Amino acid sequence: MKDFIASEEHALLERHGLASYDALWALKLEAVDEPNTERGGWSSVYRLDLGETAFYLKRQSNYLTRSLTRPFGEPTFAREFRNIQRYRELGIPALQAVFFAERKVAGEQRALLLTRALDGWQDLHDWLQQWPALPPAKQQAIVSACGLLARQLHACGQVHGCFYPKHIFLQERGDGFVAQLIDLEKTRPLWLGMRDRIKDLEPLLRRANVWGDAEVRGLLAAYLDSPVELEQWWRRLSRRQRDKEARA
C-alpha cells in the first residue's frame, strides 16, 4: 500500500521534520499505555503534540490480522486505515487518518498510523460513569446521538464490530451532542440485515449497564425509521442480551 499523508496536515508535519515513515518511526515518545504483545508481535500508541495540534501515533511490528483475502496476514493498522478511509468516503463520522505507511524491514512487517487526537471529545464510557448526576435532557441527547450514529453507520452498509462505549466519542453542540467512532479494525460490510444490526448494537447496551428501558427505547427511537418497529427491535435486543449474559 502506498504511503498516505493528509493534505490538510502535510505542511505541519513538514515543518517539524515528520512527513516521512522514517522520521515518525524513529521519533522518541512515551507510550500512553502498555504495548499489546499478542499475535506474535507488538503494537503501541503514543501521543504527539505539535504546537496546538495533537495526534496519536500508533506503531507496530509483526502484529498481523488474517482474512480470506489476506491469508498470510497484514498489519492490523493497514486494515484500520482502509476502514478509516471508507468511513470518510461514506460520510460516517469517525477519527481522521493523517499518515499511514508500512514496511518490511529485516523480516519484520511494520506499520504506523497517525490520527488526529479527539481533544474536546469525551467517550461514552466516561459519560456513563457520571450518568446518574446528568440532567435528563443531557442523558436523552447523548442517547439520541448514539442512536443517530448507529443509524448512519448501518444505513451506509457497515458493521462496526466493536460498537462499545469506549469507541463512541461525543461532543456537546448547542442543545445536543454529535458522535463519532474510533477503533475501526473490525469493520465489515453489513450482509445479514437485521441480524447484523442487532449483533452490532447489542454489545453497546450490555456494556451501558446504567441504561434502563427508557434509554434503550430512546436509542431505538433515534435509530429506527418508524416507531412501529420499536417494540420488535426492543424484544430482539433484549433476547440477545439475555442469551449473552447467560453464557458469560
247 or 218: whose pLDDT is higher?
218
CATH number of 122-247: 3.90.1200.10
Domain ranges of the chain: 4-116, 122-247
Output the CA–CA distances (angstroms, integers) from residue 110 to 29, 56, 78, 114, 186, in the order listed.
17, 17, 10, 14, 19
CA distance 182 to 153: 12
Instruction: Return the pLDDT at 33.
Output: 92
Instruction: Return the pLDDT at 90.
Output: 98
- Mean pLDDT to the nearest integer, 68-81: 89
Question: What is the pTM assigned to this prediction?
Answer: 0.94
Least confident of 13-27, 29-43, 154-168, 234-248: 234-248
Give the whole-number percent of the chain exceeding pLDDT 70: 99
Pick the CATH number of 4-116 from 3.30.200, 2.40.10, 3.30.1460, 1.10.3470: 3.30.200
Instruction: Please name the residues in contact with 201: beta carbons below 8 A apart, sequence gap of 6 or more.
Output: 150, 163, 223, 237
Instruction: Return the pLDDT at 62.
Output: 95
Q: What is the pLDDT of residues 45-71, one digit of tens each?
A: 999 999 999 999 999 999 998 887 887
Instruction: Return the pLDDT at 136.
Output: 97
| Own/partner long-range contacts of 88-95 (Cβ < 8 Å, ≥24 apart) | 90/156, 90/158, 91/152, 91/156, 92/152, 92/153, 92/156, 92/158, 92/181, 93/149, 93/152, 93/178, 93/179, 93/180, 93/181, 94/180, 94/181, 94/182, 94/184, 95/180, 95/181, 95/182, 95/184
Instruction: Return the pLDDT at 5.
Output: 98
Cell numbers found for residue 38: 499478542
Cβ distance 84 to 61 under 8 Å?
A: no
Q: What is the pLDDT of residues 107-152, one digit of tens each?
A: 899 999 999 999 999 999 999 999 999 999 999 999 999 999 999 9
Output the CA–CA distances (angstroms, integers) from residue 218 to 26, 89, 177, 201, in the order listed.
48, 29, 14, 13
Q: What is the pLDDT of residues 150-197, one digit of tens each?
A: 999 999 999 999 999 999 999 999 999 999 999 999 999 999 999 999
